[in-house]
Structure 1
Amino acid sequence: MPHLILLFLLIMTPSVQATLTGRVVRVIDGDTVVVLAAPATEVRIRLSDIDAPEKGQPFGQRARQYLTSRVAGRVVEVAGDSRDRYDRILGTLWVDGRDINAELVCGGMAWAYRVRDVAQNPAYLQCEKAAREEKKGLWREPSPVPPWQWRKQSHSDV
């Protein structure tokens, strides 16, 4: 069953028009990239509905490497147009029809983002559950700390 969820998420096409299309020129961390969009404008994108470990956390560098292996130098479509408090576009990255945000969660490299303990994307929550059960990525750790708790504990405002 978990594999069917992943397959569905990875082959479905974006349900909304892409806000922008461009080439990924830098991967900041496991859930933030810089896209070079026309006309030669760099745009910082925060992957929506997921939260990857921070750089100083266990699996933080692995999450960044995982994302890099999928998007660095690639042309991506970004679906989403809202912005966070750092003025980054919140969006879903699509490469060749694949939801990269979902790939991170399904691969055990990110959590499904929650607000007041409610996942913003229920499909991502199912991917997280499957990755946890299969002990993929960060779920190999005995007690992984969610990034939002880690930030709170370290008083970091990332």
Structure 2
Amino acid sequence: MKLVPVLPLAVFVSAAAFGLAQARTAGTRAAATPTQPVLAKVVYVDDGDTLVALLPDHQQLKVRLANIDAPETGHGHCRPGQPHSDQSGRRLAELVKGRQVELRCMDTDRYGRSVCDVVMGSTTANRILVQEGLAWANRGGNGYVRDRAVYELEDRARAAHVGLWQDRSPTPPWVWRHTEWLAPQPGCVRKGDRS
């Protein structure tokens, strides 16, 4: 009888996270890379759709919430934040920071973040943010929405005038990035601009 070595779960989790990180190839959007769900502790919330989780092997995983796009936080004078960005980030922190969550990751974005659903019981933090009007269904490009339920949740939040839908005509983040961050602004030098 041949003995087969048994590897601890942490090795498989690390391999899955490594596989997600390596799925990105230069200049192209990575194909979906489904993995087994991973339990991780959320140690930091960057904004309304980005967090850092600690895996069982103590590796940190930067996570971009799948299917949604939250209002942009400010990054200095030249990259102003959107209305409701602080509220969105605070709500995500209330939901997940310091908690053990299940991550269902399916892709890696162009910044090397794992794109995941953050499962909370029978729903996800992703859905909760859209339902509460603190994020949009991510309509910024093809293939960004895999969970079609976020469209209906967004419609309900808009009809109820909750969160960002209290504003008359809120600007989606994918538009904001182009109109506010990429447009010329006094005193701001953009990468590639000539002086």
TM range (shorter): 0.7 to 0.9
Matched, 1:46 2:64: yes
- Contact preservation (8 Å) 1:77, 1:95: yes
TM-score (norm 1): 0.83
Which residue of the partner structure matches residue 83 of structure 1? Answer: 108
Gaps of 5+ in 2: 1-33, 74-80, 183-195
Structure 1 43/117 Cα, relative in aligned 2: closer, same or farther at 3 Å? closer
Rg larger for: 2
Q: Which residue of the other structure, out of 26, 29, 32, is the alignment partner of 2:50?
A: 32
Match of residue 130 from structure 2:
105
Structure 1 counterpart of 2:173: 147
Alignment partners' CA distance in 2, 1:117 and 1:135? 27
Which digits, 9 at most, give the CA deviation of each residue in 1:74-122, with x for residues without a partner? 1011112310011000010012343110000000000001155887232
Match of 1:128 in 2: 154
Tell me the distance in 2 between the aligned counterparts of 1:33 and 1:148.
19
Verify the 8 A CA contact 2:53 2:60 in the aligned structure 1: yes
Q: How many residues align?
A: 141
What is residue 9 of structure 1 aligned with on the other side? none
**Which residues in structure 2 correspond to 1:46-85 (within 5 Å)?**
46-55=64-73, 56-85=81-110
Question: Aligned residues: percent identity?
Answer: 36
- For residues 6-45 of structure 1, the C-alpha deviation after alignment (integer angstroms, 9 at most, x for no partner) is xxxxxxxxxx864421100000000000000021111000
1 or 2, which has the higher strand percentage? Answer: 1
Partner Cα separation in structure 1 for residue 144 and residue 58 of structure 2: 35
Q: Secondary structure at the match of 2:72?
A: coil
Q: Secondary structure of 1:35's partner?
A: strand
1:19–1:81 CA contact under 8 A, matched in 2: no
Letter of the aligned partner of 1:90 in structure 2? V
Residues 139-158 of structure 1, C-alpha deviations (whole Å, 9 max, x = no match): 001110000000011235xx
Instruction: Give structure 1 stretches of 5+ with no counterpart.
Output: 1-15
